[in-house]
Structure 1
Amino acid sequence: MSFSEAYSWINIQFLLEGLLITVEVAFYSIIFSVILGFILGIIRYFDIPVISKITGWVVDIIRNLPLLLIIFFTYFALPELGLSLDVFWSAVAAMTIFEASMISEILRGGLKAVPKGQTEAGLASGLTRIEVMRYVLLPQAARDTLPSVVSQLIALIKDTSLATIITLPELTHNAQIIYGQDTAYVIPMFAALAFFYFIICFALSLFSKYLARTIAFRASEL
């Protein structure tokens, strides 16, 4: 087993190309899933007739399906329904759908944890329901649920490796190609994968701590 040969510039460059794809998939998936998750969570919290119930059914179904099945669906089944996506956007769509359902439940739980008296006080002071949600409920729910949301997003980053099943040229896929050429590279590639995934996830956790401090500071000013 030769680490120097496994970590040749050509292999490192190939891994970095895969890392870039992993980061791009994670970036778009995080943005879209957070936005969609917040929307779905708010819809369920408001308990809108019919709409909230249908949304709840869809969310519950998605949450109880394997992510791998959703990836297969977006890549293989959607074209049969007239919506064809390339491998990159199929992975992003699958990650977004799955993670948004998780985040929506986290947010809904956070919103329900805020005492109802605060909503009633906000409405009594002349605020609309949307303003109460924006200025009273969401800041508190976001602060309380941030650790759970970040944990879910870190899981999303690691789950991007599942997209190798549809030949997305991300980090794990490229590492498999490298050690597939020489089995002596298996351990060096696993070490490289562990290093890169740790760096990405650790960076996200540090950013979340900064964000939590920012939210707490702004909340103290209100």
Structure 2
Amino acid sequence: MNDFLNALTPDNLGYLMQGLWITVAVSVLSIVVSFILGSVIGIVMFEKIPYFSSLVGTLNNIVRNLPLLLIIFFTYFALPQIGIRLPVFWSTVVAMSFFEAAMLSEIIRGGLDSIDKGQFEGARSTGMSNRQTMMYIILPQAYKKMIPPLISQLISLVKDTSLASGIVLADLTFRGQVVYAQNSHYIVPILVFMTFCYFIVNYLLSLLAKRLDRRLA
């Protein structure tokens, strides 16, 4: 009990909560960017545009099959070699956004494939353009079906932010390591606290997914 009290002092808790805020900020920005980018990539692959869709699909598969940590390292360490220097925070957001966009695009393409072809034909028979059909008829139905796998992937994104501690992003994981490096007796209390924080964030996301699923059912 004393180890918990000594490890989780107000100063340490404040330090860790600042790290949690960074984790949440990286997650939110990465979710927004990856969702938009993943939607675009998924639609391009679904539309089967000659040559272009195949090229995008090939590049997408390459990204999907790379370790996220490698992409984070590449963004932070390799991009400066060609003149692109990003702070550690934005390096993490860029790396995670591209990786998660590649993962989400496959979910989105699959969701679009699940829509009955008659929906396309019916919309076009009313005079709607291909863009209007996709925006107003197909995507709303597809996104409704994709909510559970999308949220599941986004929960994985939140957990994967811990990998950015490898480039010294001062997130919850990195700050936890700093705290328990002071004293080996702090390891269990800090890991328990970090577990609780990650659980709460991801549990809230899962509740949101269930609520959206019920509302749209």
TM-score band w.r.t. shorter chain = over 0.9
Unaligned runs of at least 5 residues, structure 1: 217-222
| Structure 1 match to 2:42 | 41
- Alpha-carbon distance between aligned partners in 2 of 1:35 and 1:207, rounded to the nearest angstrom: 19
CA distance in 2, matches of 1:124, 1:12: 61
Counterpart CA distance in 2 for 1:37 and 1:214 is 24
Provide the secondary structure at the position in 1 that maps to 2:128: coil
After superposition, residues 58-97 of structure 1 pair within 5 angstroms as 58-97=59-98
1:112 aligned partner: 113
* Runs of 5+ consecutive residues of structure 2 not aligned to the other structure: none
- Aligned pair 1:155/2:151, yes or no? no
129-138 or 206-215: bigger deviation: 206-215
Matched to 2:103, the amino acid is M
Instruction: Name the residue aligned to 1:211.
Output: 212
Query: Is 1:170 matched up with 2:171?
Result: yes
TM-score (norm 1): 0.95
Task: Give the corresponding residue for 1:128.
Answer: 129
Separation in structure 1 between the aligned mates of residue 139 and residue 13 of structure 2, nearest angstrom: 43
Which string of whole-angstrom CA distances, capped at 9 and with x for unpartnered residues, describes residues 103-137 of structure 1? 00000001001111111111112111111111221
Secondary structure of 1:65's aligned partner: coil
Partner of 1:16: 17
Residue 195 of structure 2 is matched in structure 1 by 194
Moved more, 89-98 or 47-56: 47-56
Would you say the 8 A contact 1:139–1:215 is kept in 2?
no
Corresponding residue SS for 1:181: coil
Q: Which amino acid aligns with 2:23?
A: T
d(CA) in 2 for partners of 1:173 and 1:159? 13
Equivalent residue pairs, number: 216
In 2, Cα distance between the equivalents of 1:29 and 1:205? 17
TM (norm. structure 2) is 0.97
Instruction: Give 1:210 deviation, angstroms.
Output: 2.5
Deviation sequence 1:154-212 (CA, Å, 0-9, x none): 00000000000000000000000011110101110110011000111111111222223
**Structure 2 residue matching 1:2: 3-state secondary structure:** helix
Q: Distance in 2 between matches of 1:80 and 1:62?
A: 20
Task: Say if 1:67 and 1:95, in contact at 8 Å, map to a contact too.
Answer: yes
CA distance in 2 between partners of 1:153 and 1:76 (Å)? 25
Q: Tell me how far apart the structure 2 counterparts of residues 86 and 58 of structure 1 sit (CA, whole Å).
A: 26
Distance between the aligned counterparts of 2:53 and 2:82, measured in 1? 26
Cα distance in 1, alignment partners of residues 155 and 53 from structure 2:
28
Is 1:137 aligned with 2:135? no
Separation (CA, whole Å) in 2 of partners of 1:28 and 1:42: 21
> Secondary structure, in 3 states, of the residue corresponding to 2:202?
helix
User: Which amino acid letter does the alignment assign opposite residue 12 of structure 1?
Assistant: L
Give the Cα separation in 2 of the matches to 1:208 and 1:84: 36
Determine helix, strand or coil for the equivalent of 1:92.
Answer: helix
SS at 1:199's partner residue?
helix
Q: Which amino acid letter does the alignment assign opposite residue 106 of structure 2?
A: E
Q: Distance in 2 between matches of 1:211 and 1:74?
A: 34
Q: Percent identity?
A: 48
Q: Quick one: distance in 1 between partners of 2:213 and 2:84?
A: 39
Q: Does 1:180 align with 2:181?
A: yes
